[in-house]
């Protein structure tokens, strides 16, 4: 009996230690139920909307892209308590625009630095080191279950595949990449899914590196980032101020948050606003989706300050 109890405890620890961003269930493939959502505001930060991710403890990490697209000077990553919104500086890098980021299974955060064409590796204590300079204008980052790291390049329409020790090779290249910005890996298919900053396309990259258009977000002129949970894709249509849920075969495209207005308002997700949503990440229990949006500064060219929104499932 003691042996069985210990076994259950180990399984529980392993489950809770999994990275839920890019998580796909091993059950019968039934998607997570489509429930109602509400939007609320957690905290405002003095940074521009860069990458966003959540660690296994539920803490939120928001990176600074900079003041705006014409002033890419962000260097800081903030760590945010999801309970009360208190924040602290986690790490500071080069002031060249921090874009996508992603945690590995050891709690290290990989952070792309757009302006300097570098990717940094940051340990759980906030100590950083240069990981690679192989990707020009790096944007989104994702990691598969073997620890392979995939980094998008906005500059040349490629995905670079990197080992943990930094060995790099181009995995995929396509004219369908239009400043490819967000990327996620899905266990069930083994594919990568990508969204473009310059158009509304959602792309699938299979295990051989073949790129195809999965679907297109209607009327979107630019998507920002993408993640996955329980057999569904979730992405920010930045140009529309909305969050979409997309099935893995692309047959279902559904708005789950954002009324299309350019202001951040709280309440029912269908009638509340999101201003230029950029990245998104799930809480470990899947009940909340955190989104970094541009605050209501009144200047359409500014990306700072950032407001962290909470999309809560009911």
Stated pTM of the model: 0.89
Report the alpha-carbon distance of residue 72 to residue 62 in Å, rounded. 16
Extents of the domains making up the chain: 20-313
Q: Kindly write down the DSSP assignment for every residue of 107-173, as one continuous string.
A: SPEEEEETTTTEEEEE-TTS-EEEEE--SSSEEEEEE-TT--EEEEETTTTEEEEE-TT--EEEEEE
The pLDDT assigned to 69 comes to: 79
| CATH for 20-313 (2.120.10.30, 3.10.20.30, 3.40.50.1440, 3.40.50.720) | 2.120.10.30
The pLDDT assigned to 65 comes to: 96
| Per-residue pLDDT reduced to its tens digit, 170-186 | 999 999 999 999 999 99
At residue 258, φ and ψ (nearest 5 deg) are 100, 125
Q: Bigger pLDDT: 299 or 19?
A: 299
| Per-residue pLDDT reduced to its tens digit, 249-289 | 999 999 999 999 989 999 999 999 999 999 999 999 999 99
For residue 6, pLDDT beyond 80: no
Half-sphere exposure of 229 (CA within 13 A, CB side): 23
């Amino acid at each position: 009996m003691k042996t069985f109890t210990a076994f259950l405890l180990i399984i529980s620890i392993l489950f809770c230690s999994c990275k839920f961003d890019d998580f796909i269930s091993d059950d019968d493939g039934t998607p997570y139920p489509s429930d109602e959502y509400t939007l609320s505001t957690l905290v405002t930060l003095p940074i521009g909307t860069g990458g966003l991710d959540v660690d296994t403890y539920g803490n939120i990490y928001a990176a600074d892209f900079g003041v705006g697209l014409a002033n890419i000077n962000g260097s800081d990553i903030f760590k945010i308590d999801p309970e009360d919104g208190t924040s602290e500086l986690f790490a500071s890098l080069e002031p060249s625009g921090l874009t996508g980021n992603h945690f590995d299974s050891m709690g290290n955060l990989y952070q792309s630095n757009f302006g300097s064409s570098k990717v940094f590796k940051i340990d759980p204590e906030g100590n950083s080191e240069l990981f690679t300079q192989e990707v020009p204008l790096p944007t989104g980052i994702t990691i598969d279950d073997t620890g392979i790291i995939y980094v998008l390049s906005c500059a040349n329409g490629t995905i670079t595949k990197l080992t943990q020790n930094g060995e790099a090779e181009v995995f995929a290249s396509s004219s369908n990449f239009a400043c490819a910005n967000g990327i996620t890996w899905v266990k069930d298919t083994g594919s990568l899914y990508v969204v473009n900053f310059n158009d509304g396309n959602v792309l699938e990259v299979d295990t051989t590196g073949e790129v195809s258009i999965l679907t297109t977000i209607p009327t979107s002129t630019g998507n920002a980032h993408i993640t996955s949970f329980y057999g569904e894709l979730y992405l920010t249509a930045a140009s529309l101020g909305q969050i979409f849920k997309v099935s893995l075969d692309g047959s279902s495209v559904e708005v789950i948050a954002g009324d299309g207005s350019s202001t951040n308002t709280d309440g029912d997700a269908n009638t509340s606003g999101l201003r230029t949503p950029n990245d998104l990440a799930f809480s470990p229990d899947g009940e909340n989706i955190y989104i970094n949006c541009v605050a209501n500064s009144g200047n359409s060219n500014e990306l700072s300050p950032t407001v962290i929104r909470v999309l809560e499932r009911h």
